[in-house]
Structure formats: structure tokens, C-alpha cells
With several copies, the nearest count.
Chain A
Amino acid sequence: MTTAPTTAPKVQNPNYSEAFQSGVREEMKRNPGIFILGTDLIERGGHFAQVKGIAQEFGHERVKDSPISEAAMVAAGVGAAMYGCHPIVDLNFIDFAFGAMDEILNQAAKIRFMFNGKVPLVIRATSGVALGGAHHCNSLESLFASTPGLSVAVPSTPMDVKGLIKTALRAEDPVIFLMHKKLSGIRGEIADENYFIPFGKAKSIRTGTDAVIISYGYSLVTAQKAAQTLEAEGVSVEIIDLRTLYPLDEQAINDAVKKFGRVVVLDEAPMFGSITAEIAATATERNFSSLKGPIVRVGGARAPISANPAMADAAIPTVASIIKAVKQVMSY
């Protein structure tokens, strides 16, 4: 269970990146083994200002500007983590993880199992479909979540960003920490330094009575819009934010399926092979008799993402496509 904030937030209405800074700062104060490495972290504090000011506060030994060497960046994090530090490797965009796949999937994920070692490592990156074209809009959530040894956080609010990064920095596992481009601007409350969000605990972010949408990340914003429209039409939709993709909150998923029997699973990754397949398949296998009809998946097109804004939008779920899916499950 998530713990309620114990005191008022210190940063007034911070944005998504400031929430990250806040969590990282608190943990860096407490644990001298935490350091950050990535490109362009010192002056601008990273492309999304996610570590802005931290180099100035903690010094250049604890915020290290790296060359464009993703394999070495992750390897540096892996080796230092094995040695007893708790590095945060900031990959900037998650797409750049392609240059460090062996380090992440074959090394970091397996060392605990193979070599009697811990790998307390956070790999942070900005993810999600937005402008910028195909090379910067890969959805890799399913890849990471399906790799034994990795955990994956996909926070959708400043509160969750802070609560999850703090948990990641107290644990001893390699964590992929994905922050969605299109959530950069959102603001909200954050909790104080004693608030930790456990991995594997989903959260209901909208209560409803007729059907449930299970999702995460930016798709929740679209889902909320769809739910509002549906509300006006008399359909009451619950929305569940998974918050982490591994571990998955199976309990919350099973409960929701049992309660509603009408289930939509949503994300923006190309649908074929996305994490929504895992969620739908397992939820169906476990709760078949509770389903009023098949779980409906809503996902992205099987297409690279175009730079043209309208084409980019057309490749991911829209309010309309979500409404259609909900109506589909309501038709059972």
C-alpha cells in the first residue's frame, strides 16, 4: 500500500522534472554513493532539466558530464553499482538505450543471478511518442519489463515520480525509470522525504462503475479525456494507473477485471507485442469467467512515428479510439 504524505510538500506545485530533482536530491544527501552520469547534465541539467542545479549543489564528482558513449555510460553504471555505489545513468532519450542493450539486458539484468552481486542502478530516460520523428519515439516498455532482472517505473505524476525514484534509490536492483516527454509540463503536489511508493502498486486515478481502463504514462491523459466524454454520455469509467510495469500489480488488475468484467488495456506502443498483450493475456487467463467479453486493447499503429504532428498523433491512441474501445466492452 502507498503511504500518505506525512508532511506538506516542500516544492510548491513542482513539475515532473522538479519532482525528480527533489527525490534525487534527498537521496543524494542521505547516500554518498549516489551519483549521476549522462550527457549535458551540468549546465542545463539534462534535456528536460531533470537534474538542474544538482551539479551545482553536490559538485562535479557526483554529476558527471559524459561523452556520447551509451554503452560505456551504462557499463560505468553497472560496474560502479557492483562496486557498491548507486549510480543514476541518465540516457536522455530511451532510444539511445539501443547503444547499450547488452549492458542493460545481458549484463545489468543478470549479474545478481550469475555472479553473486547486487546492481543498484537507475537508468533514467525520457520516453514516449511525441514530436521529433521516428528515431526518438520508440516504445521499449515491453522489452525492459519482459527482461528477467529488470524493473520498470512509468510514473505519470510529480508525486509518483518522486515516490518511485526514492524507492528505486533505496533498493538494490537495476531499475529502468521512464519519464514521458509529453508529461514534462505537468505540475502537481509532491510528498516529503519520507514518502516512498513501492513498485508493483497500481493506483486508481478515476473511479467509475461501468468499465475499467488499465494504462500508464501519457495515455492516461488521453484516457481521462475519453472518460469525461463518456461520462457525459452516461458511461462511468474507472482508470487505473499501473505506475510500474514490472513488477505489475496483478492484484489490482485481477480485482478490476473481477469487479467490472469490461476491461480496456491501453498504451501507445505499437500494439503488436506491446505490454498490453501481456496484461490482457494474463488477466484473461486468470479471470476468464469474470469477463463479460474479451478485454479490448488500444495501442499504437505498426508504423514508425512521423515528424508531421498530425501523422504522429494518428499513430497513437486518440480520445476517439479509446471511446470506441470502451463502447465495445460496454456492448457485451
Chain B
Amino acid sequence: MTIPDKKTSLGLLRQMMVIRDFEETADKLSLRGKVSGGMHNSSGQEAVAVGVLSALAPLDVIATTHRSHHHTLAKGFTSREIMAELFTRSTGISGGRGASMHLGDVTKGHFGGNGIVGAGVGIAMGAALGIQQKGDKKVSVGFIGDGGMNTGRTWEAVNMAVIWKLPLIVVVDNNQYAVETFVGRVTGGGDLAKRAEGFGMKAFNIDGMDVLEVRKYVSEARERALAGEGPSFINALTYRYYGHNVGEKGQYRTQEEIDTWKSTKDPIDHFTAVVIENGYADQAAIDEMRASVRAEIEDAVAFADASPEPDISTIYDDIDSGKLGVQL
């Protein structure tokens, strides 16, 4: 894998560190009752988020899942506005209406985290149709988990994107478990790229722990989409270090399995080594980066904590435009 220039590479590394620190910090805060309604920790899956988003342009669209802090941070939203959202404060990305699961800002190309498995891919497909209708040079990425591979509408969206050659990239953030259910136990056939190919979509099973590999496949998919060659499907194999929701453990996988992934495949460790090996940084620089990340997350927590609660009277705002009743 050819490594990008120093600035880009260090940016990728730092972004992954931000995600990890954000998640581990938020996890603890959630256990202490600071985060309303739980949170889905993405630790371990940083390379998917950062690999994908670093291959996109700022105005490309994403739509994602219930586990979306990492995608949202990688899209360029600040730790502050996401932490504040977890605290359901008015300064949060969704104004406190969404919490962990419903991060989004349509006006900035983030078409939402989603409480419903499979919903994000459909919306991303629709955004791709919008892009095509307007003739814009953009792509739309729909994130989905391995669990969403068995949800029928995922395949409706895949098929529609194929026949209409939409600029869509479906990214499976495949952490191998849906809550406690191992992907292999509920997924007929097993080979997800083959499934997608059955619908005529260009499809790849890739290493989701390698940020450069993810970035490469997504860049290529983006190029194809912009060239009018239609959608792609990227199944990125990764691993979730924590429970499905905060505080959950369960017997559905062994500690050994978790430890093996952490010790041999960790995306941050791996890419740190690559960066050092390439002479882009030494251990001191890495430590410094980690410290600056720490400070950023501390600041985000302080910001969130100091942010005001939303005004509850606003629950009646933004339900509809009210304009249908107005004479035009």
C-alpha cells in the first residue's frame, strides 16, 4: 500500500486517535450517567471511518447507522458538537434531540445516524439519486453493519443503485457481530461481496483494520462513481472492542478473541507503526499527538458539560414547515 504524504498520514492517524479517545471517554461518562440513553462505542473500527471519509470530498454525502460517532467525527464534525449531543445539549450537532444514535446535519452533507438498521443505506442511495438528478460531481456513502446485510431493503437499495448507476458507495462496517449475533450464524452464503455481485454491484471484501486499504478502495469507488460507472460495495472487516451498547459484555465471544484482535490488528497501533517506519514521526511526536488529542477530548467534555440544555418548548418546532397551509 503506498502511503500518502506526511501531513495526510499524520492527519489520518490523529483522526483515528481522536475517535478512540472520544469513544473511551464517552463510554466512561455514559457509565457515570452523563450520556442519555446509552451509546454505541466504535473503538476498533476507526480505520473504516477514517479510511472512508478521508477518501471523500467535504461536500460528499454520508448516511449512517446507530453506531456513528466515528463516521461523524471523521466527516469533520468537532468533538465538541458530538460530545454535546451525547449529553443532549443544545450545542450538540442535533441540538440535543438525537443523542448518540441520531447525529446528523443535513445541511452539511451528514444525512443522519439512524436508529433503524438498514435505513441509512436507503437514504444514501436517495442522496446519490439527488446528486445524479442535479448533475453534481459528488458521491454518497451509506454505512451499514453486518447485521444490516440481512435486512431486505438493503438489497432493494443496492439493486436500485445498480440499475440507475447511482454514485453510491455502500460501506459495510463489518464488526462481525450484531449485538450478540455472530455474522456467520445468520448470514447465508457468508461472502458479502458475492451477495452484492449477485445484484450486479462491483464489490470488494477488504481489511477494515487498515486505514490505507479502506482509503484506497473508497477512492477508487469514488472515481468510478464520478465517471458515471455506478455504485460500489465495500465490505470492510473490522472488530468492535466494547459491548454492543455501553456497559454490555455478554458471553457471545471469548476474551481471547477480543484480545487477539486488539493485540494483532489494532488499526491505530498498526498505522502508528507505518507512520514511524516511514519516518513521518518518532515516538515523541506520537506521544505529543496523543496528548493533543487528549486535550481536545477534555475540552469537548468541558464544552458539553457547560452547554445549556435545550429549551423544552422547542419540541413543537421543526415538525413541518407550516407552509403548506399558506397561500403561495
Judge: A and B partners, yes or no.
yes
Q: Which residues of A contact B (CB under 8 A)?
A: 1, 3, 33, 35, 39-40, 42-44, 61, 64-85, 95-96, 98-99, 102-103, 106-107, 111-118, 131-136, 148-151, 166-168, 170-173, 175, 196, 198-201, 244, 247, 301-304, 306-311, 314-315
Docked CA distance A307–B93 (Å): 13
Assess whether B122 is in contact with A308, with CB atoms less than 8 Å apart. Answer: no
Chain B residues, Cβ within 8 Å of A311: 88, 96-97, 310, 312, 314-315
Most buried by B among A99, A133, A314: A133
**What is the CA–CA distance of A66 and B125 in the complex, to the nearest angstrom?**
14
- Given A114-B94, A117-B107: A196 and B327 interface contact (C-beta under 8 Å): yes
A112's contact among B152, B251, B318, by CB below 8 Å, is which? B318
Point out the residues of chain B lying under 8 angstroms from A81, CB to CB.
126, 130
Pick the most buried of B111, B252, B314, B324: most chain A CB atoms within 10 A of its CB: B324
Please tell me if B47 contacts chain A, counting CB pairs below 8 Å: no
* Nearest CB in chain B: distance from A127 CB, A: 15
For residue A308, which residues in chain B have a CB less than 8 angstroms away from its CB? 36, 88, 96-97, 99, 309-310, 312
A-B contact pairs, 10 of them (CB 8 A): A67-B156, A68-B178, A69-B150, A82-B130, A83-B134, A112-B320, A116-B105, A133-B98, A172-B323, A307-B94
Question: Are B123 and A78 closer than 8 Å at their CB atoms?
Answer: yes
0/1 interface trace, chain B 27-51, chain A, CB 8 Å (1 if under): 0000000001110000000000000
How far apart are the CA atoms of A19 and B205 in the complex, in Å? Answer: 45
- Our pick among B111, B116, B119 for the contact of A82 (Cβ within 8 Å) is B111
What's the tally of chain B residues with a CB closer than 8 Å to chain A?
Answer: 81
Sample of 4 further A-B pairs with CB below 8 A, known A307-B101, A308-B88, A308-B312: A67-B150, A112-B319, A113-B97, A117-B106
Number of A-B residue pairs at CB separation under 8 A: 295
Given A40-B180, A76-B160, answer yes or no on A307-B126 (Cβ-Cβ < 8 Å): no
Contact between B123 and A82, CB atoms less than 8 A apart: yes
Which B residues lie within 8 Å of A315 (CB)? 315
List residues of chain B with CB under 8 Å of any chain A CB. Answer: 36-38, 61, 63, 88, 94-102, 104-107, 110-112, 114-119, 122-131, 133-134, 140, 147-148, 150-153, 156-157, 159-160, 163-164, 178-181, 185-187, 250-252, 309-310, 312-321, 323-328
Knowing A172-B323, A310-B309, the reply to whether A103 touches B131 (Cβ < 8 A) is no
Q: What residues on B are CB-neighbors of A84 within 8 Å?
A: 130, 134
Q: Which residue of B lies closest to A135 (CB)?
A: B115
A-chain residues with CB within 8 Å of residue B129 when the two chains form the complex: 76, 79-80, 83, 85
Q: Which of A71, A201, A247, A306 contacts B156 (CB 8 A)?
A: A71
- Chain B residue contacts of A79, Cβ below 8 A: 63, 111, 122-130, 140
A293–B238 alpha-carbon span in the complex (Å):
63
**Cα of A136 to Cα of B178 in the assembled complex, Å:** 18
Judge whether A67 and B325 touch: CB under 8 Å.
Answer: no
* Identity of the chain B residue whose Cβ is nearest the Cβ of A113 in the assembled complex: B318
Instruction: Let me know if B101 and A72 touch, CB within 8 A.
Output: no
Q: How many Å lie between the Cα of A17 and that of B24 in the bound state?
A: 32
Q: Which residue of A lies closest to B108 (CB)?
A: A116
B111–A117 touching, CB < 8 Å: yes
- Sort A-B residue pairs by CB-CB distance and give the 3 closest, nearest first: A79-B126, A117-B106, A75-B122
Neighbouring A residues of B151 by C-beta, 8 Å: 68-70, 99
A64 to B2, CA, bound (A): 42
CB distance from A129 to the nearest CB of B (A): 12
How many Å lie between the Cα of A39 and that of B177 in the bound state?
12
Complex CA gap A3/B328 in Å reads 10
When A72-B156, A107-B119 are in contact, do A303 and B315 touch as well, CB less than 8 Å?
Answer: yes
